Each structure stands twice: as structure tokens, then as C-alpha cells.
Amino acid sequence: MKAVVFTQPGLPIQDAQSLFETELPQPIPRARDLLIEVKAIAVNPVDTKVRARSTSKQPQVLGWDTVGIVREVGGDVSLFRPGDEVFYAGAIDRPGSYSEFHLVDERIVGHKPRTLDNASAAALPLTSITAWELLFDRLGVKEDGGKGQSLLVIGAGGGVGSILVQLARKLTQLTVIGTASRPETRDWVRELGAHHVIDHSGSIALQLENLNQSPVDYVISLTHTDTYLPQIVEVLRPQGKLALIDDPEQLDVMSLKRKSLSVHWELMFTRSLYHTDDMIEQHHLLERICALVDEGVIKTTIGEHFGSINAENLKRAHALIESGKAKGKIVLEGF
């Protein structure tokens, strides 16, 4: 089968060997595996991070956001059958989906929204799971809850922020405040439903005060958390909660003590990495996202379509993500 791989970690994306096309054996499904014929994928920051940090010298296939068709099933599969159209975000400890065929455990897969084409659906799984787990699992916000409370989302114009703003606005009573530093991303965050949009390149505290929105009850930080931490501590209400997804080199949590603030890290791959007892919750979560999309409650966060799945287009996608200027999700479709 066709696949796009890398063998030398840390190469600049412009290097010919940073990502290249090859042929690999078609995988065989195990007990709860689905063999998926890949139709569309999305590229995420985790793709670029793994490419930069991996220590393996063997050909590695990146890619987690996937839309495809079930072609074969393992002997213990009960949730899907051949021919089903599905979407999912995969597992970080297994080969990714920059390939014609891909294996995934059925417990982290959902049925593709019927109202979306393949590319639009590919934009959703990883960010939807991450946003849902941040809001409802890590911070403990209840659906239709949060009345009289507020949520500040730092970096709201990116992939996770784009779905998080929608979930918070549509499924809770929180006042949603997003940050974005460029006019186009500020407009995007407003369009997604944020009550207020502020610029994280300026004083967050001053802008919140001007909106009569200080202090806030919850902060979800999606980028450069170490840089923004002093401001986060300043604007959070005593006993408030901070959740994050990025990988700061250092994070001085002692600064949270005076206000009794709590910190919650989110990694959407945790359930599949450890085969937790509640691993199937990601299946249920994606089925719920599917229903919300088909009901018109939330919409895809597709940003740009980069064409077919090949090394050249994937390099373009990685370069844009590494520039920090991506808006929404970058998708590719078909081999």
C-alpha cells in the first residue's frame, strides 16, 4: 500500500527526507481492530512534534485524524461492520494514517457524520475529543451547567480552540471568552460563538476588566502556557481551574498555591495508550459529535484543503502548522 513516512527525526520540513512516499505491507486486523481504507486525513501539531522528537530509525507513519471505510474487522469487533463510514483520531503508539490502509481499535472510532463530506469530517475527531475531555472530563463542567461562570480560552483560533468554543457555547451556560491575535482569527472565533474575543498579545487582565469579565472561573490554555501563566494566575478566580494541552519546558505550579488553583493536563491519547477501563468513552464521544454535527448544533472546523495525500502536500501542511499561522484544520483527501 502507498504510505508517506519519515526515517530521520528532526529534519527541517523542507528537506527531501523529512517526509517521503514509499510502499508498505497492508496491515492485518487483530481482535478489536478495524481495517480502514483511508479517504481523508487532517494534520495536527502532534504530527509535527512526533516528526521532530521521535528516536526510531525505522520508517514511521504519522497521522491520526482519519475518515475512511471499514474494509475488514477483527474477530471480536461488535460496533462496526465492513462498509461503514467512520471517523476517528487513532492511537499515538500505533502507525498513523498517512497510508492507504490503517488499523484502529473500534473503541476509539465513531460513525462519520452523514451531512459532511470526507474532508470536512476529517477536521473533527482529534480536536473534538480533546476539547470535550478538556471541558467536561478535566474541568468537570456539566452539560447545560456553568450559569454565571466564565471560561477563557487562550489560543481559541486554532484546531482545538475552534471546536472548544462551539462546545462551550452550545452545550453549557458559560460565558465564553476567546483570545486571538490576528484580525482573521478574531473574526473566526466570533463566528464560532465566543461571547467576547480579546488579543493575547496585549494585557489579558486589562482587556477582561474592560469587558467586566474579571476574574474568570476557568482557563483553558492551548498554546505557550508558560508564557501566559502569570497572567492566567492573575485573572483566575480563587479556587479556579486551569487546563492545558501544550508542552511547556517549565511550569511553575507554585504560583497557583496562593489562590488554591488546580491544574489539569489533557492528552486525548491517554485512554488508548493505557487501554483504560473507559476507553470506549471515545467511541461514545465521537458518536455524540456525529449527532451534534448532523443536527446542525456544531460545524466542521476545516480551515484549508491541501489536496491529495502525498509527501509534497503533507510537507506544506507541516510547514504551515510550524509557522503558527494555521486557522482551523488542514485536511487532505485521497491518494
How many C-beta neighbours within 10 Å does residue 209 have? 13
Q: Is 159 exposed, middle or buried (0-12, 13-18, 19+ CB in 10 A)?
A: buried
Cβ–Cβ under 8 Å, residues 246 and 208: no
How many C-beta neighbours within 10 Å does residue 156 have? 30
pLDDT, one tens digit per residue, over 38-95 is 999 999 999 999 999 887 778 999 999 999 999 999 999 999 999 999 999 999 999 9
In sequence order, which residues have a C-beta less than 8 Å from that of residue 295 and are 6 or more positions away? none
How far is 323 from 52, CA to CA, in rounded Å?
Answer: 14
pLDDT of 203 reads 96
How far is 308 from 209, CA to CA, in rounded Å?
Answer: 47
pLDDT, one tens digit per residue, over 160-183 is 999 999 999 999 999 999 999 999
Measured in whole angstroms, the distance separating CA 255 from the mean position of its chain's CA atoms is 28
Query: pLDDT truncated to tens, each residue of the chain (335 aa)?
Result: 999 999 988 899 999 999 999 999 999 999 999 999 999 999 999 999 999 988 777 899 999 999 999 999 999 999 999 999 999 999 999 999 999 999 999 999 999 999 999 999 999 999 999 999 999 999 999 999 999 999 999 999 888 999 999 999 999 999 999 999 999 899 999 999 999 999 999 999 999 999 999 999 999 999 999 999 999 999 999 999 999 999 998 899 999 999 999 999 999 999 999 999 999 999 999 999 999 999 999 999 998 999 999 999 999 999 999 998 777 799 999 99
pLDDT of 58 reads 83
How far is 279 from 108, CA to CA, in rounded Å?
Answer: 7
Of the candidates 315, 267, 281, 323, the residue with the CA atom closest to the CA atom of residue 98: 315
If phi > 0 it is left, if psi is from -120 to 50 it is alpha, else beta; for residue 120 that is alpha
Cβ–Cβ under 8 Å, residues 302 and 331: yes
Residue 144, amino acid: D
pLDDT of 57 reads 75
pLDDT of 53 reads 87
In order of their start, the domains of the chain are 2-124+270-333 (3.90.180.10), 127-265 (3.40.50.720)
pLDDT of 151 reads 98
In sequence order, which residues have a C-beta less than 8 Å from that of residue 229 and are 6 or more positions away? 251, 252, 255
Residue 220: strand, helix, or coil: strand
pLDDT of 158 reads 86
pLDDT of 307 reads 97
- Calculate the CA dihedral of residues 283, 284, 289, 290 and round it to 10 degrees: 70
Is the pTM of the predicted complex or chain greater than 0.85?
A: yes
How many C-beta neighbours within 10 Å does residue 249 have? 5
